[in-house]
């Protein structure tokens, strides 16, 4: 099967890179004898950004429309999207309607077609979105606390940032 491996990390910093995702996805493709057509990564992009508006999400859609790909392999569904579950399921149904297989290496339920799998897929996308919403609340809370301290970061003025550019 002709495959796109898609990875995403939400920040551009050195602490996050898609390499570990790529290794697991490549291993999966090798085990199943899939041909990797493209390895695409959107770095520094939030999971709540619509997949087909991301730079490499646009490329994925173009490859699908040109018939150059038969499947998408991701490390986990939250790397693909953290939008609300209804939107994610609509995107996955779009892929299915186009004849595209969607594989989550760490969540085998996405690789199944059964009555049991559908609600599990929805639950996993819901948890992914829930994590995003909670994370945003924590970030906002931290920013508010920093503002009360009179700093952008919450650290005392004059503090040197490690690896700060």
Sheet with 71-74, edge to edge strand ranges = 35-43, 2-9, 71-74, 101-104
Are residues 95 and 74 in contact, defined by beta-carbon separation less than 8 angstroms? no
For residue 145, the model assigns a pLDDT of 74
* 140 SS3 class: helix
- pLDDT(164) > 70: no
Which of 6-15, 55-64, 155-164 is modeled with the greatest confidence? 55-64
- pLDDT 10s digits, 31-79: 999 999 999 999 888 777 888 889 999 999 999 999 999 999 999 888 8
Of 64, 52, 61, 66, which Cα lies nearest the Cα of 99?
64
Instruction: Tell me the mean pLDDT in the region 119-135.
Output: 70
13 three-state secondary structure: coil
Q: List the alpha helices (DSSP H) in 6-76.
A: 19-31, 55-65
Length of the chain: 165
Q: Which residues pair with 84 in a beta bridge?
A: none
User: Phi-psi category of 74—alpha, beta or left, where left has phi over 0 and alpha has psi -120 to 50?
Assistant: beta
State the Cα–Cα distance between residues 6 and 36, nearest whole angstrom: 11
Q: Which pLDDT belongs to residue 152? A: 65
What confidence tens digit (pLDDT) does each residue in 11-31 have?
A: 765 556 789 899 999 999 999
Does 106 score more than 80 pLDDT? yes
CA–CA separation, 133 and 130 (whole Å):
5
* SS3 assignment, position 7: strand
| Domain 2-149: top CATH class | alpha beta
pLDDT of residue 138: 75
The residue that leads in pLDDT, 160 or 45, is 45
The pLDDT of residue 156: 60
What pLDDT, on a 0 to 100 scale, did the predictor assign at position 155?
Answer: 58
Q: Regarding predicted confidence, which is higher, 93 or 161?
A: 93
């Amino acid at each position: 099967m002709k495959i796109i491996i898609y990875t995403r990390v939400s920040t551009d910093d050195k602490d996050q890179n898609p390499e570990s995702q790529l290794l697991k996805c490549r291993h999966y493709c090798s085990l199943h004898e899939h041909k990797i057509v493209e390895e695409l990564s959107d770095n520094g992009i939030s999971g709540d950004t619509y997949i087909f508006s991301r730079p490499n999400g646009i490329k994925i859609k173009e490859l699908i429309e040109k018939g150059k790909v038969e499947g998408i392999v991701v490390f986990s569904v939250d790397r693909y999207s953290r939008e609300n579950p209804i939107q994610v399921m609509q995107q996955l149904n779009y892929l299915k309607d186009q004849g595209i297989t969607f594989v989550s290496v760490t969540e085998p339920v996405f690789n199944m077609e059964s009555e049991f799998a559908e609600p599990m897929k929805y639950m996993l996308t819901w948890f992914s979105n829930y994590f995003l919403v909670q994370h945003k609340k924590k970030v906002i809370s931290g920013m508010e606390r920093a503002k009360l301290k009179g700093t952008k970061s919450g650290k005392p003025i004059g503090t040197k940032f490690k690896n700060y550019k």
